[in-house]
Amino acid sequence: MRKIAFAAFAALAVTGALAGCGEKMSEAGISAERLLGAQADDANWITYGRNYEEQRFSPLDKINTENVGELGLAWSADMDTARGQESTPLVIDGVMYFTTAWSKVKAYNAATGEEIWTYDPEVPGETGVKACCDVVNRGLAAWGDALFLGTLDGRLVKLDRETGKVEWEKVTVDQAKSYTITGAPRVIDGKVLIGSGGAEFGVRGYFGAYDADSGEELWRFYTVPGGDEDENSPEYLRKAAETWSGDVLGSESGIGGGGTVWDAMAYDPELDLLYVGVGNGSPWNRAYRSPGEDGTGEGDNLYLSSIVAVRPETGEYVWHYQTTPGETWDYTATQHIMLADLEIEGEQRKVLMQAPKNGFFYVLDRETGEFISGDPYVTLNWATGIDENGRPIENPETRIDKTGKPAMVTPGALGGHNWHPMAFHPGEGLVYIPAFEAAMMYAPEADWKPDVNRGFNVGFDLAAGDLPPDEGFRREVAGTLRGMLVAWDPVKGEPRWTVEHPGPWNGGLLATAGGLVFQGTAGSEFNAYNAATGDKLWSFPAQTGVVAPPITYTVDGEQYVAVLAGWGGAYALSVDGELMKRKAPVRNVSRMLVFKLGGTSALPEAQDMATAPLDPPPSRASADIIAAGGKSYARYCAVCHAPGAVGSTVLPDLRRSGTLENKAAWLSIVHDGALQDNGMASFKGSLSKEQIDAIREWIIFRANQDKVMSTEQ
């Protein structure tokens, strides 16, 4: 049926008869036909990746290489959430809709910046500790006269597009577990598709389809076995179960296996295939997740770190390709999935492309899942290549679940490319990748046990990579961090050009028919580049790091470019704050920025970044208490407050906390949850008062070390 609908639409497009599609094509609502024709709709941006192929290429060319220097700020709007901003706005018939941190939704006049409505789902603050990578949200889906939102606490919400009023909401996860939703839903034929996150904490991954009218769950696809498969289980899960060992799945440990679907989706309406990216294992360390008889990691562990194709009508499994068999490094395949038709070796191929965390750029046949090519787009050392069967040729020294020994591995857990969307320019034949390099020390933790209440469940000693209070060593490590915009030729399997950035974690991308590529940076710029050469043609001082991807649209024939600015996300929270400052000092100032040719608006004057002095109380605890506190900090605190307690500018730097010298105040926050409404939940279910106070003593110790280091510079 979908093939018939697609063929009918294609015929209408050829004859230019889109306006005759009747009521479904009217401006009142988003229909199947309107989504199928999204690429030709130059006025609007009606779905997350612009079209079902997720190419993020706009046919607009009024802003181009010749006049982009005349681009100016048309309007801006300050947000009320000073956390990471990752949303792709939608623009529908002159109105802009987007999400912000904490799953809030805003609607603005897309030409003037006048606020129309705002919606707050009132996510409980304590949900913040369930989020591995900030309290972000990446966007909305539209269908009919409604918008669909996934909230951080696991609800799917339908909003009236005109008013922002709730029409229904559906809890899609077990809220007693550490599930979260940060990704944007997609809609296919009235089915709202959404997954969730939480593999770092210990959940079982799945994604599902929900009826747009009622919110009823129509089907659910589990990405890893449940441990209780029998002859009545779906065949794809029975086959997956054969690739796991041990008794983790479905066990009392409750760590679930992972494989969450928290971001990437794409759809081919002609083949009627939905493609999703599947995440990492839970725990990361395969030796604990899927141990063999010798206690080391065993098995491919399907469908972790895989691209899976299913029928959107039923959720029926069609094919899969696993990018990292038996993954143990947090090498998710949840990164942007993009579809295109390319000529490869003289043959026109329908392909799927992805640059997942593991550092290889993949080109697959999207009809069959056949491996076509895989080439490194960043430096990597965990594998030397990919064999003819599409399996990585691994470096055994980095297979830490086998060796049981620490190893410095690149890419690290943040990957060579994370969630930030790529863009494709069909005229140039290039995919633009927001890539970076940041290695990680992986050290297996002996006698590791899961804790499903709080904290990371990864099976590694997360303190192993903490940097010592040594200025020279820190400078050396900072020098290894790279951020770059890579213009990748997917046919040749190599970059055509590369732009170096001050550091990692730069924004998602937009390509246009005007010969431009737009990207924000961790260096607080919003830039336009020549799509063919990489030359920087225009830059705007955004006053904050920009990680979200831009869009472009028209209102009354005027072309606009918009991006939601606001520093945050996994890198901003979970990387040593001093390393970030050395590359590009950055803070969060959350704003929507909208540009047009001749725009004359201006931002308020940037404020200086003020930092409280590093003046901790004396360190008097015993070495044993300090060591125990450091171990607990790494597992339970570092994900938000950074390794080594060297905080960034998004969340409090605990070395400077006024509660360090007040044990009672510290316990009231960390044990009793005095600040849970702000996102700082109680940890009393996982840590005793003695353990919590040991964390305080360790932070005091670390702060004193860093104070000495700063005075010696």
pLDDT digits (tens, 9 = 90+) for 289-338: 999 999 999 999 999 999 999 999 999 999 999 999 999 999 999 999 99
Identify the pLDDT of residue 711. 66
In terms of pLDDT, which residue wins out, 519 or 573? 519
- pLDDT band of residue 581 (cuts 50, 70, 90) is confident
Residue 6 pLDDT: 43
Q: What is the pLDDT of residues 661-704, one digit of tens each?
A: 999 999 999 999 899 888 888 898 889 999 999 999 989 998 89
Q: Is the pLDDT of residue 10 over 80?
A: no
Looking at per-residue pLDDT, the higher value among 650 and 312 belongs to 312
Where is 9: in which H helix or E strand?
helix 2-15
Residue 62 confidence (pLDDT) above 70: yes
Which pLDDT value is given to residue 512? 98
**Quick one: average pLDDT of 221-238?**
95
What is the pLDDT at residue 679?
82
Q: What is the pLDDT of residue 302?
A: 98
Q: Which two tokens stand for residue 388?
A: 């003819």
CB–CB of 73/594 below 8 Å? yes
366-370, long-range: CB < 8 A, 24+ apart: 366/268, 366/271, 366/273, 366/275, 366/309, 366/339, 367/271, 367/273, 368/319, 369/307, 369/309, 369/319, 369/320, 369/321
Sign of CA dihedral 428, 434, 439, 441: negative
330 has catalytic annotation: yes
Q: Give the model's pLDDT for residue 568.
A: 94
Q: What pLDDT is stored for residue 28 in this prediction?
A: 60
Separation of alpha carbons 616 and 710, rounded Å:
13
496-520 pLDDT tens trace: 999 999 899 999 999 999 999 999 9
**Average pLDDT of the chain, as a whole number:** 91
Range in 213-227, 409-423, 447-461 the model is least confident about: 447-461
CA angle (137, 141, 146) in 5-degree steps: 120
The 3-class secondary structure across 520-541, one letter per residue, is ECCCCEEEEEECCCCCEEEEEE
pLDDT band at 26 (very low <50, low <70, confident <90, very high): very low
In the prediction, which pLDDT does 475 show? 77
Per-residue pLDDT at 69 exceeds 80: yes
For strands 371-376 and 440-442, give the pairing.
Answer: unpaired
Buried b (16+ CB within 10 A) or exposed e, 540-571: bebbbbbbbbbbbbbbeeebbbbbbbbbbbbb
Among 268, 300, 330, 375, the active-site one is: 330
Say whether pLDDT at 341 is over 70: yes
Q: How confident is the model at residue 54, as a pLDDT?
A: 98
Owner of token pair 């849970």? 676
The Cα 98–Cα 512 span in angstroms is 21
Q: Which residue has the tokens 């990579």?
A: 465
**Strand 347-354 versus strand 337-344 pairing type:** antiparallel
Pair type for strands 206-211 and 265-268: unpaired
The predicted pLDDT at position 586 comes to 85
Strand order in the sheet with 591-597: 71-78, 591-597, 558-565, 551-555
Strands (E), 356-470: 360-365, 371-376, 383-386, 392-394, 407-409, 423-425, 430-437, 440-442
Residue 252: band (very low, low, confident or very high) from pLDDT cuts 50, 70, 90? low
Strands 509-512, 57-58: pairing kind: parallel
pLDDT band with cut points at 50, 70 and 90 for residue 60? very high
Q: Is residue 9's pLDDT more than 50?
A: no
For residues 660 and 614, is the Cβ–Cβ distance under 8 A?
no
Q: Which amino acid is at 569?
A: G
- Would you state the pLDDT for residue 713? 55
Q: Could you tell me if 316 and 464 are in contact, meaning their C-beta atoms sit under 8 angstroms apart?
A: no
pLDDT tens string 417-452? 999 999 999 999 999 999 999 999 999 998 888 887
Q: Output the pLDDT for position 712.
A: 56
Inter-residue contact 160 to 145 (CB < 8 Å): yes
Looking at residue 647, what is its pLDDT? 80
Please classify residue 572 by burial: count the beta carbons closer than 10 Å to its beta carbon, then call 0-12 exposed, 13-18 middle and 19+ buried.
Answer: buried
What is the mean predicted confidence (pLDDT) over 367-371? 98
Q: Span 339-354, mean pLDDT? A: 97
pLDDT of residue 465: 79
pLDDT computed for residue 327 by the predictor: 97
Task: Give residues with Cβ within 8 angstroms of 41, minimum separation 6.
Answer: 34
Q: What percent of the chain clears pLDDT 70, i.e. is strictly above it?
A: 95
The predicted model gives 112-140 an average pLDDT of 96
- What pLDDT does 191 receive? 98
pTM score, whole prediction: 0.94
How many Å apart are CA 236 and CA 713, to the nearest integer? 59
Please count the CA atoms within 13 angstroms of the CA of 331 that sit on its side-chain side: 31
Task: Report pLDDT for 17.
Answer: 34
Q: What is the pLDDT of residue 304?
A: 98
Q: Which residue is listed with tokens 């039923």?
A: 314
- The terminus-to-terminus CA distance of the chain in angstroms comes to 70
User: By mean pLDDT, which of 182-191, 446-455, 520-529 is the weakest?
Assistant: 446-455
Rounded Cα distance between 541 and 584, Å, is 13
Please, which pLDDT band fits residue 600 given cuts at 50, 70 and 90?
Answer: very high
* Higher-pLDDT residue of 473, 57: 57
Please choose, from the candidates 49, 369, 41, the residue with its C-alpha nearest in 3D space to the C-alpha of residue 183: 49
pLDDT at 112 (0 to 100): 98
Structure confidence at residue 541 as a pLDDT band (50, 70, 90): very high
pLDDT for residue 253: 64
Mean pLDDT value across residues 37-41: 96
DSSP letter assigned to residue 199? T
